[in-house]
Amino acid sequence: MLQSKDQLRRHRSHISDGFDEGGFGQTADVSDYLTRMEKAGSETLEAFIQSYQRSNSPIDCIVCLYDAFLPLAIEVAQKYGIKGAVFFTQACVVNYVYYYAHHGLLELPVTAASTPVELPGLPPLELPDLPSFIYKHGSYPAYFEMVLSQFSNLEKADFVVVNTLCKLEEKIVDSMAKVCPLLTIWPTLPSSHLDGRIENDNKYDINLFQPEDCTRIMHWLEKKPARSVVYIAFGSMDNLPKPQMEEIAWGLRSSNFNFIWVVRAQDRQEKIPADFVRASLVDKALFVHWSPQLEVLSSEAVGCFFPHGGWNSTTEVLSLGVPIVFMC
């Protein structure tokens, strides 16, 4: 029986990543961070479970957010007889390719000579069709290892939950369901941006980057006409070459639209023409280091989103109905 909204209670606690004073900023080494997070995360998760097992509200199920890269959470859960549900935030097709890579069923590195890549349930794949960690093998070795580690305990999970719409990836969902107990869930946006059914659910719980001035961004948008702003955000890991950044800049200038561009300060100084920045800052443009993306996309002033094509950005913009131009 489902409980009513009044009967449901949410209790929130935190697990440690081993760097409680400053998070990832305390180390410059990705491998070191992941190793310590795995150990500290498992220990603090177990302590959290123990505290509830001694209470009147014992834990029955753990949803392990695999995007937190803590596959050992499943082992901790099973130690206490608790079911584990693994949550993958990427597209089902990306998870499927990584699954084959993790199990050695996709020979790496993939080169032009070894394409097309053929996997069950997928059409033949050329290099650009594959996740960047696959076709640019060795570009980010620590991150690649981290991505594949998500699948290290997959066979132990009671459920595998993927952030996707079944109708959007119907064939690949059917294929992946043959290798694991798959469930799809979509959209995963805060309720206030959708139907408002969940009270006070108006933002994501975690932000990797803090806003430089959210109020300034939203006030700037409030002064713009409806559908007059292009919002550009290519993700925190993208490192576009200077010629490409210059082409994007002059393309925006030629469009004559207002725009918000999320860009690192160093990239703005080194890759975007200074005269473009000076000319654009006359009330037509806003350059920021970070942006409250859901709030920006929900603004009536935004008429186009120009992202790098990441899955979270894709699901957000599909949910909110904003026109989109992908950078591939």
Query: What CA–CA distances, in Å, run from 270 to 84, 161, 234, 259, 306?
Result: 47, 41, 17, 20, 21
d(CA 129, CA 327): 14
Beta bridge partners of 258: 229
Helix H or strand E encompassing 212: none
The whole-angstrom separation of Cα 38 and Cα 16 is 9
Tokens of 68: 């937190």
Looking at domain 23-186, its CATH superfamily turns out to be: Glycogen Phosphorylase B; (3.40.50.2000)
Distance, CA of 93 to CA of 100 (rounded, Å):
11
Tokens 């975007």, located at residue: 272
The residues with which 232 forms a beta bridge, in sequence order, are: 261, 306
Contact indicator for 73, 38 with CB cutoff of 8 Å: no
The three-state secondary structure class of 171 is helix
pLDDT score at 9: 60
The SS3 assignment for 60 reads coil
Q: 218: which 2 tokens?
A: 């939203």
pLDDT at position 210: 55
Give the DSSP letter of residue 273.
-
pLDDT at 3: 42
Distance from C-alpha of 33 to C-alpha of 52, rounded to nearest angstrom:
28
Quote the pLDDT of residue 289: 87
| Domain 214-320 CATH class label | alpha beta
Q: Quick one: pLDDT at residue 160?
A: 92
Position 211 scores a pLDDT of 53
pLDDT tens for the chain, residues 1 to 328? 334 444 456 667 778 888 888 776 777 677 788 788 888 888 998 998 888 888 887 777 766 554 446 788 888 888 888 888 888 988 999 999 999 999 999 988 898 889 999 999 899 999 989 988 888 877 778 788 888 888 988 899 999 999 998 888 999 999 999 999 999 998 888 877 777 777 777 676 655 545 556 888 999 999 999 999 999 999 776 788 999 999 999 898 888 899 999 998 888 888 988 888 777 766 789 999 888 899 999 999 999 999 988 888 898 998 899 999 987 6
Q: Is 237 helix (H, G, I), strand (E, B) or coil?
A: coil
| For the chain, domain boundaries | 23-186, 214-320
Domains 23-186 and 214-320 share a fold: yes
